[in-house]
Amino acid sequence: MARSALAQETVFALRETIARLEGKPIPALAAAQAQAVAEGQERTQDRPTRLETGIAALDEALDGGLPLDAITEIRSRGFFDAGSASGFTVGLSVLIKARAPKAENLPLLWISDRMASQEAGAPYLIGMRGFGLGTEPFFQALPNRLDEALWLAEAALASGAFGVTILETRGNPKTFGLTESRRLALRAKAAGRPLLLLRHAAEEEASSAAFRFLTQPAFASQRRLPDGSMLGGSIGPSVFRLTLEKSRNPAPLCLSLEWNPHDRRFNCVDTPRHAVPERQPAAHSGALFPKTFDRPDLAPAPGAVLAFDRPARGRPDGSFERAS
């Protein structure tokens, strides 16, 4: 199934390349733009399509910045990293709304697949305000089925009424394949609106996302005081361990970013480097839960082991003899 999806994506890319060489419009994109014009949502041609993050190495890997007319995918390996993936997604949303033109006063739409929301929980608006989100309206949708969530995301992009649209899903469902991903990508391209695809407990797969991040939690530093010193025993802003898995770079980029909710920006806390490919885990590698560090004492060792004599064996005449 993965090979067929990759082959289909290759065919799409070849068709687009041939269309550009011949000076013709891309058929699928032209159809999406024509539909957007028919619906009264014509895209502004002078609108920038990239947003610089302020991190030089990351902006270079993103071909100039975060795309504002495409899909950016953020995935986690399991629901134990759902908080980190959701926090990084909120940080990107706040960054887009704070710096992207004509997106500051537009609301944010968070579409959650019901299966994903049951595992990861619902977004907490007060916490998102403390994370840097403004006072503009915030909307959340909880459709019952995934196909309804996909339809709602496509309609939200086409309307142009939202500054950022977040689509939260669980895993790699069969009903959300390359075809559905490409429909969303074309809709985002035609409308000039970003879509942040948040995947919990998902594996790498072929999609039409421009970039894909693997998000993991990282240790936060201590809180910095106004004079520049660190407050001992305190916890500073959130830190995210990121691996840029899908990009034009030959090797994945790995770095740690700290989110500053007051300035609404990311700060790099380590030196960006290329990630080393991980080994394939065993088929039954055991649980992924961390070891406890504050559990009760272990059971005491057993007492002395006593040696008993072996039982006697019976003779044919009914008497007994002791076994040697």
Provide the pLDDT for residue 278: 57
Provide the pLDDT for residue 5: 55
**139: which strand partners?**
109
Q: Are the C-beta atoms of 68 and 193 separated by less than 8 Å? A: yes
SS3 58: helix
Q: Return the closest-CA partner of residue 209 out of 186, 181, 187.
A: 181
Provide the pLDDT for residue 255: 93
Q: Using one digit for the tens of pLDDT, what is the confidence trace for 105-114?
A: 899 999 999 8
Provide the pLDDT for residue 256: 94
pTM of the model: 0.72
The H or E element containing residue 164 is: strand 164-170
Which amino acid would we find at residue 74? Answer: I
Q: Cα–Cα distance between 120 and 115 in angstroms, integer?
A: 9
Q: Are the C-beta atoms of 139 and 163 separated by less than 8 Å? A: no
Provide the pLDDT for residue 1: 47
SS3 188: helix
Tokens, residue 206: 């072929």
User: With left for phi above 0 and alpha for psi between -120 and 50, is residue 286 left, alpha or beta?
Assistant: left
User: With left for phi above 0 and alpha for psi between -120 and 50, is residue 273 left, alpha or beta?
Assistant: beta
Provide the pLDDT for residue 313: 62
Residues constituting the chain: 324
- Kindly report the number of other CB atoms within 10 A of residue 34's CB atom: 12
Q: Cα–Cα distance between 317 and 306 in angstroms, integer?
A: 33
Provide the pLDDT for residue 246: 92
SS (H, E, C) 67-99: ECCCEEEEECCCHHHHHHHHHHHHHHHHHHHHH
Low-confidence stretches of the chain (pLDDT < 70) are 1-48, 275-324
Provide the pLDDT for residue 307: 63
Burial of 126-159, coded b for 16+ CB within 10 Å and e otherwise, reads: eebeebbbbeeeeeebbbeebeebbebbbebbbb
Q: Using one digit for the tens of pLDDT, what is the confidence trace for 74-83?
A: 999 999 999 9
Q: Where are the alpha helices (DSSP H) in the chain?
A: 2-21, 27-38, 56-61, 82-99, 114-120, 125-130, 146-159, 178-191
Q: Cα–Cα distance between 183 and 321 in angstroms, integer?
A: 88
- Kindly report the number of other CB atoms within 10 A of residue 269's CB atom: 18
Provide the pLDDT for residue 44: 47
Tokens, residue 192: 């000039």
Q: Cα–Cα distance between 121 and 112 in angstroms, integer?
A: 10
Provide the pLDDT for residue 58: 93
Domains of the chain: 2-42+54-224+232-274 (3.40.50.300)
Tokens, residue 300: 């005491």
DSSP 111-160: EE-HHHHHHH----HHHHHHTT--SS-EEEE--SSHHHHHHHHHHHHHHT
